[in-house]
Chain A
Amino acid sequence: MEHTNTDMHDNQLDEPLAPKRTRLEEFWRLFKQNRLAIAGMVFFIVFFFLAIAGFTLTRGNTPVLDPALVRLQDKLRPPLTRPNLERLRPHEIPKLGIYIFGTDDLGRDVFARMLQGSWVSLTVGFVAVGISVLIGIFLGGIAGYYGSRPIRIGQLLVLAFLFTGVVLLINKLIWAGSVVLIGSAVCILISIQIKKAASAKSRSAAARLWNFKTISIDTVVMRFVDIMLCFPSFFLILTVVALLPASIYNIMIVIGLTTWMGATRFVRAEFLSLREQDFVAAARALGLSNFRIIFRHMIPNAVAPVLVSATIGIASAILTEAGLSFLGFGVPPPHATWGNILSDGKRFIFDAPWLTFVPGIAILIIVLSFNLFGEGLRDVLNPKLRERN
């Protein structure tokens, strides 16, 4: 009886208002108005399917479209030409019967390479941005949530011992390293002891020193961000890529590891403001664990703007990879990416312009659509910028 009452009560309150929409519907309504963003999204989805098609069609030992098959007889054929059947061996004849985008300087089918490249480029973009977003959420979350907590001398000691121990071990000083590592274990034990003693309310001077507060976690994280920001980012990438062996994984990791600073700052700012909001205070008052508060309540609220910047981040990761390819440090063969097809093709710009224009324009379209899509999302998600009409 009571229940129905409340329900009726609610209904009565709701009725005079606008028809109720879910968050998603509301979001979609706003998003729909931005035609550029819609176009971006359509391309985004098309690209996604292309990448999946590229992955399935070009993998394995005898792929449908072999991006690595060299047909020197058929090199530099313009787009939409038919293969020269007399001069090709049977296994070399393209399955499509036509070179949609022509062939490159080794006679490889550019269409197949573009398909494979769409998958590789997408992976590079997603993994790189994934890494940077994860680091960003983690560090930004710590800084924002635990920000004001200081690090105590004891903890510093443990860390210092651990660090020197590992460094010594790396330098093959096994004995010294182990001793120092044991030192860090001892420090942990001391901390536990002091904690117990503290609960017994007998604080010695040494214990107080042990628990002396130094800088806060927030300071450490943000200083670290500052340090990373001191390196010009393209140069940092270039240095690391030039120094590490080139592989598709290294490129992804390096781009990810050098672009997380923005996300960290973002998440930290979000967390700082979320922490003060009522629902977090309520959650805390209910005695929820920090872990639960962070993961169930704060991250879902902070993550939307991060995802927006991630969309744009993917676009810029694809561009960064292309830039690296230009300098010869991109994803190495046999993986084709749009970036390395483009930079390989530039030598032939007068002889075979399609090798430059096909990937160049493809990159342009995809990056543009990612950017427009991201921009549209940002407009919708940022209530301050919403039109008042």
Chain B
Amino acid sequence: MISFIGRSIVQKIITLFFVSIVSFLIIHLAPGEPSQVDPMNPKFTREMVERFREEFHLDKPLYRQYLYFYRDLFSGKTISWKDNQPAFKKIWERFLNSLPLFIVGTILTWTISFPVGIRSAIFRGGIYDRSATFFSYLLISIPGFFFAYILIMFVVNQFHVPVIGMETFGIGETSGFNRIMDRIWHLLLPSLLGATAGIAVLSRFVRSQMLEVEGQDYVRTAKAKGLAPDQVHYKHALRNALLPFVTMFGLILPGLIGGSVIIESIFAWPGMGRMAYEAILARDYPIILTLNFVSAVLVLIGTFISDLLYMVVDPRIRL
């Protein structure tokens, strides 16, 4: 166990190192320069551009830039080129904005997929199963922004309430409870849209896991000895079918830093996805690279946790 943890940590650190190199290369070797060095502005002289490049270390060889960047990153001194704000502070603010979306989206995904998936498995091939299949695929087949626009137009025209932003604009003055409810309302549509794909995929997965377990001998035995069907499905089968899902908890982690650009743009949600997207367009390298690094760390921690969980819940696995 200990040796597994140790080995795995070393492996992950090596992976992280390569990730840092690859992301750095992708961004720096690609054409384009930070928007501060706007070459189309007639007011910018060559000297100005050079001074900017010097300030951002862009005039140094790549390996030096790499070292500078990661030195700043680990000492927490990275600042965004766009507005000179510390990168971690910016990311943290956005993270706090994205977090409610993520939490509600995840809860929606997990609470809805399980009952749907289990029921589909129990009534396999029936009308319920087929319509659930159909709808879950329908959900992942709609282009996200098309769906979002239709939903927004529907809600706004039917109910005359705002749906964009994190809260109704200017609600700051009202009482606490109203405000909380208002926030929940604003969470509803974007988190639902964010969760659709998850619901569809996860409920399919729950279904197939359940089907696999239901075919096992011990479930048949349980059925044969005359246990109530609910008892069989929810106690014997479900518990065993849950095994792989435990490990998925670890894999949720990277989703924290994700956030969909498209949904955030449409809903005017000041989240991480939009920040990252704007950083890419403005070639704000420090923000892009810091985000990338943080998300890589989360992915690695996530897989690590899921490996560990796997070991804990399934005694057959010895890594």
Contact = CB atoms under 8 A, between A and B. Distances in A.
B66 to A, nearest CB: 14
Interface stretch (B20-28, B51-59, B69-77, B233-241): B20-28
Contacts of A384: 212, 215
B212 A385 contact: yes
Interface in A221-247: 223, 226-227, 229-232, 234-235, 238-240, 242-244
A243 B283 CA distance: 9
Interface string B193-211: 0000000000010001001
A327 B261 contact: yes
Contact of A227 (B18, B27, B144): B18
Interface in A308-363: 315, 319, 322-323, 326-327, 339, 342-343, 346, 349, 356, 360, 363
Interface string B94-114: 000000000000000000000
Determine the interface band of chain A, counting residues with CB < 8 A from chain B: 35 or more
B257 A232 contact: yes
Interface in B1-21: 11, 14-16, 18-19
A231 B23 contact: yes
Interface of chain B: mostly helix, strand, loop or mixed: helix
Contact of B15 (A226, A234, A371): A226
Given A327-B277, A368-B137, A240 B26 contact: yes
20 contacts: A35-B130, A223-B15, A226-B303, A227-B19, A230-B16, A239-B26, A240-B26, A240-B30, A243-B26, A243-B31, A322-B143, A360-B143, A363-B143, A364-B143, A364-B146, A368-B137, A372-B137, A375-B133, A385-B212, A387-B124
Interface of B: 11, 14-16, 18-19, 22-23, 26-27, 30-32, 124-125, 130, 133-134, 137-138, 140-146, 149, 153, 204, 208, 211-212, 215, 254, 257-258, 260-262, 276-277, 280-281, 288, 292, 295-296, 299-300, 303
Interface of A: 35-36, 223, 226-227, 229-232, 234-235, 238-240, 242-244, 315, 319, 322-323, 326-327, 339, 342-343, 346, 349, 356, 360, 363-364, 367-368, 371-372, 375, 384-385, 387-388
Given A227-B19, A230-B19, 15 more contacts: A223-B11, A223-B15, A230-B16, A230-B299, A232-B258, A234-B260, A240-B26, A243-B31, A323-B145, A323-B262, A346-B149, A360-B143, A368-B138, A385-B208, A385-B212
